[in-house]
Structures are given as structure tokens and as C-alpha cells.
Amino acid sequence: VALGLESGDNKILELANKKTSVEQNKKAIEIFHKYQIPVKGFFIIGLPGETEETAMKTIEFAEEMRGAGLTYADFYALTPFPGSAIWENPEKYGIRILSRDFNSYLQTGEPVIETEGLSKERIKALVEEARSRWQKQGKVIITGGCGFIGRAVAEKLTKKYDIIIFDRHHGKDVTKKEDFEGLTADYVIHLAAVIKGDNNDEILSTNVIGTLNVLEFCKKTGAKLVFASSAAVYGCPDTEIITEE
């Protein structure tokens, strides 16, 4: 099933006279997903009233729906055609038509309009960003992402996935539940841990509270969890070589 979802912002949908809402579009995707029907969504950047903020909401909405049943998405710059309301009266919609040469009116061509909030160049950049982000295989949160293993994992995955690093040296902390708010992810690779030290409160906070926050996030969003156990589970061995016995 192909759906013209157009935007992730209700005001933009209203200005475009779409007669739908973001919530209705979300519900439709979820229903199709329930019955295992693949959904392809089409989005437009540069609709009347479009700004940087509303365009990013569209990109983020598509990514959110990836985990809720949207199996494919594509993004295009607004192209007004003869007979459409925007073509006949672009000023009414805050649109400036830059070219009426139909040789430019290809889906893969340069944008032919700009809005009051977005230039032609910015619309093109946002379409390219949206397509690039969607073509990646998903979003991965890596906790402890600034550590030795975390950096290596992030470097390995960054070409195929959008990476979000959780590390107290990187601005997001697993011990703070609020740092997870508003985020979505397809996978969480949980590496954050305090292996040893004299600060028992820090060990408890990171290893226990932090792990609980990760588990709650995965339960809430449906993200798959990869939990890499710390070497601390082996205690303090007398030899450098540790067997699983």
C-alpha cells in the first residue's frame, strides 16, 4: 500500500488542505502493520508554511514510523503543476515559483519553488538528508559509546546506521531517564558500565539504574537490545586467562 503522508506536522497538512492529521496517518500505518501489509510512504518538503522545523518533523516522523510498520519512504520537493491551486496563486500560499520550464519538473530534478522559510537550496538539502537517513538500515543507540569497544562499534556501524552515542563524556547519560525522552531506535547496544572503583554509588547508578533505564526504553519503543556483559562478572581472577568455568 502506498500512502501520500506528505508531512509530519499537522499545521502543514492543514495548509495543504490534506484533510488528514499526523495521528490519523500514524494509526493507518499501524493498522496495515497489524495485518502484515507493507506500507510505502511519500513525503513532500516545501509545502505551504514549510520551515526548517516542520521539515525536520517530517523526517523524524518517517523514522519513527519505520519501527511501526512503514517499510519504505521517499521524499520529494514540492512541484506545483498547471491547474493546481499553488500554480494559479502561489503568493496566497507563501510560495515563489522559480521556474515554469517543464524540463525542470522532474522528480529527481532541482526544486522549482521556495517558501517564505526555506530557500531552493535548503529544500534540496533537506530532501537529500531525508533520503540519506532513510536509506540507512535503522537507528542504533550505543551506550558507553566513547569507550574502547563503544568507539570501535560506532565506527563499524556508522555507514549503515544512524548512531546515537550515550556516554557521560558525550552529553547523554544512561543514568538519566530524561536523556532517553523523545528518542527512538531500532537497536540498543548496551556497553556502559563501571567495572571497578571505590565509588559504590557510581557503580550502582551506572550498572543497575542505567541498565534499568535501557530496558525500560527498549520495552517502550520496541528497540532490540544487545547487552554486552562486563568482565566484572568474573570477579578478581588470579590469572590473566579466564575460562568460562
Give the global pTM: 0.62
Strand 39-45 relative to strand 224-227, pairing: unpaired
Q: Cα–Cα distance between 108 and 144 in angstroms, integer?
A: 40
Measured between alpha carbons, how far apart are the two ends of the chain, in Å?
53
Sheet holding 187-190, edge to edge: 162-166, 139-143, 187-190, 224-227
pLDDT of residue 135: 80
> Helix, strand, or coil here: 177?
helix
- Rounded Cα distance between 151 and 59, Å, is 27
Please spell the DSSP secondary structure of 94-132, one letter per residue. Answer: TEEE----GGG--TTS---EEESS--HHHHHHHHHHHHH
Q: What's the pLDDT at 234? A: 58
Across the 245 residues of the chain, what is the mean pLDDT of every consecutive 10-residue run? 96 95 96 92 96 96 87 92 93 93 71 94 95 83 91 90 88 93 91 78 89 94 84 61 65
State the residue for C-alpha cell 510560495: 95
CA–CA dist 178, 207 (Å, integer): 17
Contact call for residues 119 and 95 (beta carbons, < 8 A): no
